Structure 1
Amino acid sequence: MADDIKISKKKPSFPVSENLNAYLSEYRRNIELPILYSDLLRFQGSVIVYDDNDEDTLWIRVYYSDSDRKEIDLSLKKVYSYLVSDGGDWILKYLNVDAIDYCTFGNSKPFRIKVRNILNDNYTYFYVKKADASRIYGLEIEHMLSPYSLNFLVCEDTLIEEHIAGIPGDEFIKNSLDDRTEMEKAQIAKEFIKFNERCTITLLGDMRSYNYVIIPIHDFDQVIFKIRAIDFDQQSYEGKLKIYMPQFFKENFKMVKMVQSKIQEESIEQYKIEERSIVAKRIISYRNRLNALLNCMQSDKISNKKNVNNLKEEIYNYSHDKNFRKCESMGEIVKFILDFVKRNYENVSTSRL
């Protein structure tokens, strides 16, 4: 049932360690960029960005001096080329930076860059954020263990993230959920169960409705809905297990009620097992890369001792696996959770041979 969970108001930003930096270089996530997060902070002024209903979006549109803007626009177009193409300058003449927005809400304080193709007016976004090790771990884990690939780059203290398209969860729940057919509601409920299970397994926290998107996909005879995380700031930081379970946030209350009304208990357990099995298969498929990431994560500080000690006890009480009591870091806890999921999958698979 949805609850009122308290999350740390200000999670510290953790620096990228030498080991993590080497991992990012190995897998081509680390690259020299022509502009850094700090460069974008030189804006001279701003105006509030309102939505179509004239409500404050919590973003401000920033502007720069004429001399700075020319250099910044060129650099941002080069970043876009690195992110989505081969990094060549050939694409730059087709691009225009339409807007640079800044958000002071939340921990990452991102810049949102709107890039438009001048030949056809198609546009997309990417984000420039201050690099945070826990967020990077979250992005990499999501890339390997979720159904979705993630595109991002790191340079010194700067993180570049590709935009994840979809309907913000809070807007969907407020404006669209009630209008779905009964069959669609059952399908969304099933997806929420799987999303909830995946977040818990990977220790991705704070999945309140505005931190994920709903993606409608038109199949040949129906519309199906997928749920995808868009914020990885609370990866493996908090000390309470419920924070890694979207079902316990009051913002997701309507989703939880829909699960209760549409899905039987037996089916809920079935969908959880399905998701754990899918994650286990991905753990096996990404074995070498995932082990390299977890080796970095185990030796990295991405939380505090109090949170680590509290979380490992809660997970022990939940799983009764004594390995969790041996954990000394959040990285170790994640490793043992993934080992636990993989081990259970392999044991069941072997018993059926």
Structure 2
Amino acid sequence: MSEEKLMSKKKPAYPVSKKLNAYLELYNRNIEIPIFYEDLLRFSGSIVVYDSNDEDSLWVRVYYSEFERREIDESLKKVYSILLADGGDHIFQYLNIDAVDYCTFGNSKPFRIKVRNILNDNFTYFYIKKTDASRIYGLELEHMLSPYNLNFLVYKNTLIEEHIAGIPGDVFIKEMLPNCTESEKAQLAKEFVKFNERCMIRLLGDMRSYNYVIVPTHDFDHVVYKIRAIDFDQQCYEGKLKVYRPQFFKENYQMVELVRAKLQSKSVDQYKLEERSIVAKRMKSSGNRIKRLLKACLVDTISTKENTERLKSEIYELTLDMDFKTCKKMGEVLNLALDFVKRNYEDVSMKQIMEHRINTN
């Protein structure tokens, strides 16, 4: 299926509701910051940023007047301190804002800030974006339901996100996958199955290869690869269920072929079950936090009526759960989808407990 038919042309940004804002304040996500997204738009010039292969990276490096640059640099150092340190200004003397880059590609049009420690030349990035409620739900769900914690801040119309390190999926597939060992390819196939399942369970869409990263970890005798989402713009917005399954994007074709070549169908089913069980366990362990988030999402507007109607119908056809037919908002669809996974995990767990008791008596 072509990309144009699978995805909507453009997704709007949704405002943060009072309930979501209260949630963000409760969990220290809503913190006052000294600079807004619009402040960074006042740049006076820009140049194209090229990647290591001298190709257009789709980012431009922006410049500000001397007076504004001094003020912006101080504000960005403050944001860095709030996001990654104690919020104090005692570290400012060790920091330098090396670059402010702007991306016109995609919905969020983020600014990427490069911060360098002048004592040792170590550097890191963070991103400044426009606030979007669906993206915030995506970030929070990733924080609770994936193996990874996320660090981000929201203040009024500005969203600050910590950089997620890794090799961009499209770069890895093109340049590194061909050189992987057969064992590494089998492990990548397993991780793609689990990643695919995790995205579908929590309704995270548009995981084309440039919207996730491959994270290699060196164990004592081999390299372990993990797949991690980096773009949460399409959290439960689209109406087509295929959008929430990375396997259906043409950019992931080689990963899908890897699964076909390296895994038997029984192994695929096993890894899907493992991922559903892990997500269900994370839901149970997250307790009131995920309940409060979903309570805000239930009454929020983060998609269109048409998308909600289509998605609830397609999920009903997959699960045959009649509750999906009564959904009015996308938050209800998300809540039921997560509850369906949790209930199925609890049913299987209870069945296993009863069988164990019968066998031991």
TM-score (norm 1): 0.99
Instruction: Write the distance in 2 (CA, Å) between the matches of 1:93 and 1:325.
Output: 58
Matching residue of 1:91: 91
Instruction: Write the distance in 1 (CA, Å) between the matches of 2:2 and 2:257.
Output: 12
Matching residue of 1:257: 257
Q: Secondary structure at the match of 1:334?
A: helix
The one-letter code sitting in structure 2 at the alignment partner of 1:69 is: R
Q: Indicate if the aligned counterparts of 1:216 and 1:224 stay in contact, CA closer than 8 A.
A: yes
Matching residue of 2:358: none
Instruction: Write the distance in 1 (CA, Å) between the matches of 2:44 and 2:298.
Output: 42
The one-letter code sitting in structure 2 at the alignment partner of 1:212 is: Y
Matching residue of 1:30: 30
Query: Is there any run of 5+ residues in structure 1 with no aligned partner, and where?
Result: none
Matching residue of 1:221: 221
Superposed CA deviations along residues 214-260 of structure 1, whole A, max 9, x for unmatched, are 00111111101000000000110000000000000000000000100
Superposed CA deviations along residues 181-229 of structure 1, whole A, max 9, x for unmatched, are 0000000000000000000000000000000000011111110100000
Instruction: Write the distance in 2 (CA, Å) between the matches of 1:255 and 1:220.
Output: 26
Correspondence 1:162-241 to 2 at 5 A: 162-241=162-241
The one-letter code sitting in structure 2 at the alignment partner of 1:345 is: Y
Per the TM alignment, residue 8 of structure 1 is displaced from its structure 2 partner at its CA by 1.4
Q: Secondary structure at the match of 2:6?
A: coil
Instruction: Write the distance in 1 (CA, Å) between the matches of 2:332 and 2:161.
Output: 26
Matching residue of 1:151: 151
Instruction: Write the distance in 1 (CA, Å) between the matches of 2:339 and 2:8.
Output: 28
2:126 is the alignment partner of 1:140: no
Matching residue of 1:76: 76
Q: Secondary structure at the match of 1:220?
A: coil
Matching residue of 1:269: 269
Matching residue of 1:50: 50
**Pairs aligned (count):** 352
The one-letter code sitting in structure 1 at the alignment partner of 2:248 is: F
The one-letter code sitting in structure 2 at the alignment partner of 1:157 is: N
Superposed CA deviations along residues 263-314 of structure 1, whole A, max 9, x for unmatched, are 0000000000000000000000012000100011111000000000000000
Matching residue of 2:125: 125
Q: Secondary structure at the match of 2:116?
A: strand
The one-letter code sitting in structure 2 at the alignment partner of 1:193 is: V
Instruction: Write the distance in 2 (CA, Å) between the matches of 1:56 and 1:286.
Output: 42
Per the TM alignment, residue 3 of structure 1 is displaced from its structure 2 partner at its CA by 6.3
Q: Indicate if the aligned counterparts of 2:44 and 2:64 stay in contact, CA closer than 8 A.
A: yes
Q: Secondary structure at the match of 2:69?
A: helix
Instruction: Write the distance in 2 (CA, Å) between the matches of 1:287 and 1:12.
Output: 31
Matching residue of 1:315: 315
Instruction: Write the distance in 1 (CA, Å) between the matches of 2:54 and 2:170.
Output: 17
The one-letter code sitting in structure 2 at the alignment partner of 1:102 is: Y
The one-letter code sitting in structure 2 at the alignment partner of 1:35 is: I
Per the TM alignment, residue 351 of structure 1 is displaced from its structure 2 partner at its CA by 1.2
Q: Secondary structure at the match of 1:273?
A: helix
Q: Indicate if the aligned counterparts of 2:197 and 2:276 stay in contact, CA closer than 8 A.
A: yes
2:340 is the alignment partner of 1:346: no
Q: Indicate if the aligned counterparts of 1:111 and 1:127 stay in contact, CA closer than 8 A.
A: yes
Instruction: Write the distance in 1 (CA, Å) between the matches of 2:150 and 2:321.
Output: 32
Q: Secondary structure at the match of 2:190?
A: helix
Runs of 4+ residues over 4 Å off in structure 1? 2-5
2:320 is the alignment partner of 1:324: no
Q: Indicate if the aligned counterparts of 1:204 and 1:236 stay in contact, CA closer than 8 A.
A: yes
The one-letter code sitting in structure 1 at the alignment partner of 2:178 is: D
Instruction: Write the distance in 2 (CA, Å) between the matches of 1:352 and 1:21.
Output: 41
Q: Indicate if the aligned counterparts of 2:137 and 2:235 stay in contact, CA closer than 8 A.
A: yes
Instruction: Write the distance in 2 (CA, Å) between the matches of 1:255 and 1:152.
Output: 30
Per the TM alignment, residue 6 of structure 1 is displaced from its structure 2 partner at its CA by 2.4
Instruction: Write the distance in 2 (CA, Å) between the matches of 1:90 and 1:21.
Output: 30
The one-letter code sitting in structure 1 at the alignment partner of 2:319 is: S
TM-score (norm 2): 0.96
Q: Secondary structure at the match of 2:90?
A: helix
Q: Indicate if the aligned counterparts of 1:3 and 1:248 stay in contact, CA closer than 8 A.
A: no
2:15 is the alignment partner of 1:15: yes
CA shift in 2, pair 1:254/1:3, >3 Å: farther
The one-letter code sitting in structure 2 at the alignment partner of 1:12 is: P
Instruction: Write the distance in 2 (CA, Å) between the matches of 1:202 and 1:310.
Output: 17
Q: Indicate if the aligned counterparts of 1:213 and 1:227 stay in contact, CA closer than 8 A.
A: yes
Per the TM alignment, residue 52 of structure 1 is displaced from its structure 2 partner at its CA by 1.6
Superposed CA deviations along residues 110-143 of structure 1, whole A, max 9, x for unmatched, are 0000000000000000000000000000000000
Superposed CA deviations along residues 302-347 of structure 1, whole A, max 9, x for unmatched, are 0000000000000000110011111111111111011111111111
Correspondence 1:99-118 to 2 at 5 A: 99-118=99-118
RMSD of aligned alpha carbons: 0.8
The one-letter code sitting in structure 2 at the alignment partner of 1:115 is: V
Q: Secondary structure at the match of 1:352?
A: helix
Q: Secondary structure at the match of 2:101?
A: strand
Q: Secondary structure at the match of 2:200?
A: helix
Per the TM alignment, residue 9 of structure 1 is displaced from its structure 2 partner at its CA by 2.0
Q: Indicate if the aligned counterparts of 2:237 and 2:302 stay in contact, CA closer than 8 A.
A: yes
Instruction: Write the distance in 1 (CA, Å) between the matches of 2:197 and 2:53.
Output: 35
